[in-house]
């Protein structure tokens, strides 16, 4: 079974969509206490970490796919527009560092539609430097039948062939006895990739006002419908748009942790949209064949 790891997991909307598409969750990273309790209840047997700055290959298993919606506060038009230079949205570079360290086959990134003009070029450039091609699209929740728009950008990045090149050069080295040669093509490819990863880590630490003194990653202080049918926003039915606080007693009044629930729901990814993207990722990984 194909596996995934979830960064900025929230209450697991992204994760649920990927599981529905046939992936298996191997680990989750989430710092919020309330959201973590939700994850613990629904994924009790999954390895979990709290602070993305403390994560890397030393405590996260390699997976086929890494998914995550990094913080949007500095990207959103409702914010001050700091973009990826902001303290919260700048955590994208931690996301990128983990991608570089774990080398997944597919990466799926989510954020608000404002990313298109406030950082998409940087995100795509970073992924390209790691050897990923990418495609992206704004998919509204209305595309899967929800009675509100909720536009979100989804980026699906996949290996551009470097993995195949590495396998080829590794085989050639085995055949020629060149495995220990520091000048072999495979060694040079991996050395170049490590250099790019190191530059990304420098960006991460510089954003925190720190120096890169840690060399091993262990000390960190610091729309569409399934089947291809598209629905228009006018086709959402007669129920109207979802209100910020629905006038339903059991939802809006007298429930425990009401503020936390509303906040987490506001940050969450609609699982049905995540499932559409996950099925695209599955097709990329399997060539459209059943697994």
Question: Active-site residue numbers?
Answer: 72
Gap between the Cα atoms of 5 and 81, Å rounded: 29
Q: Which of 92, 55, 87, 89 is nearest to 72 (CA)?
A: 89
Encoded tokens for 32: 């919020």
| DSSP secondary structure letters along 4-73 | EEEES-TTSHHHHHHHHTT-EEEEEE---HHHHHHHHHH-TTSEEES-GGG-STTTS---SEEEE----T
Gap between the Cα atoms of 49 and 28, Å rounded: 6
SS (H, E, C) 174-223: HHHCCCCCCCCHHHHHHHHHHHHHHHHHHHHHHHCCCCCCCCCCCCCCCC
| DSSP secondary structure letters along 263-274 | HHHHHPPPHHHH
* Residue where the block lists tokens 């990418």: 134
Q: Who's near 34: CB < 8 A, 6+ residues apart? A: 257, 260, 261, 263, 264
* Residue where the block lists tokens 């697994």: 291
125 and 92 in contact (C-beta within 8 Å)?
Answer: no
């Amino acid at each position: 079974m194909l596996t995934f790891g979830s960064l900025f997991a929230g209450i697991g909307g992204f994760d649920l969509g990927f599981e529905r598409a046939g992936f298996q969750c191997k680990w989750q990273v989430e710092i919020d206490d309330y959201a973590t309790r939700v994850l613990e209840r629904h994924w009790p047997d999954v390895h979990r970490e709290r602070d993305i700055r403390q994560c890397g290959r030393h405590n996260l298993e390699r997976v086929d796919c890494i998914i995550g919606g990094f913080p949007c506060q500095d990207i959103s038009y409702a914010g001050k527009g700091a973009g990826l230079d902001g303290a919260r949205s700048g955590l994208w570079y931690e996301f990128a560092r983990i991608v570089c360290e774990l080398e997944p086959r597919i990466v799926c990134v989510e954020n608000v539609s404002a990313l298109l003009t406030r950082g998409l070029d940087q995100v795509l450039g970073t992924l390209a430097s790691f050897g990923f091609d990418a495609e992206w699209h704004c998919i509204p929740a209305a595309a899967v039948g929800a009675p509100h728009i909720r536009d979100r950008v989804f980026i699906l990045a996949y290996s551009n062939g470097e993995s195949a090149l590495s396998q080829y050069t590794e085989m050639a080295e085995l055949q020629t006895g060149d495995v220990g040669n520091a000048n072999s093509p495979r060694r040079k490819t991996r050395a170049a990739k490590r250099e790019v990863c190191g530059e990304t880590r420098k960006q991460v630490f510089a954003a925190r006002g720190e120096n890169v003194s840690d060399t091993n990653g262990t000390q960190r202080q610091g729309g569409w419908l399934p089947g291809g049918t598209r629905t228009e926003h006018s086709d959402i039915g007669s129920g109207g748009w979802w209100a910020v606080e629905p006038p339903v007693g059991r939802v809006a009044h007298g429930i425990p942790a009401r503020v936390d629930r509303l906040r987490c729901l506001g940050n969450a990814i609609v699982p049905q949209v995540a499932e559409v993207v996950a099925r695209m990722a599955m097709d990329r990984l399997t060539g459209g064949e059943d697994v």
